[in-house]
Amino acid sequence: MQIRDLVVQCIIGTRPEERLAKQAVVINVTLECDLRPAGQSDKLDDTVNYSAICKQLITMAEQSSFQLIERLAQEVARVCLEDPQVSAVAVTVDKPHALTNARSAAVSIHRKRQA
């Protein structure tokens, strides 16, 4: 299950000018979960509610004030893993225009539910 190209506005960066105004970041997540029950039942209760996770990600990111996209990616993973049906998550956070002559700077992480 994936949430692709979620654009959020947040304070992110280490330079003083980056701390003054929110800027866009792009979040992509792949949620690892068992989709068989929902595939058989056609019921939302049998799967991950990606709309609810999306809303939680927007709220968390827009209220955050991180310096590093690595930290934002870690917090995205934490939010996703709060859903008991998510066993693991892959997260990519892109910061457009962070580098001269490059579309974006990005980090990708993979986290599993702790036993």
Active site residues: 95
Helix, strand, or coil here: 70?
A: helix
DSSP letter (8 states) at residue 81: H
Q: Where are the beta strands (DSSP E) in the chain?
A: 2-12, 23-32, 65-66, 88-96, 104-112
Residue recorded with tokens 């996209």:
69
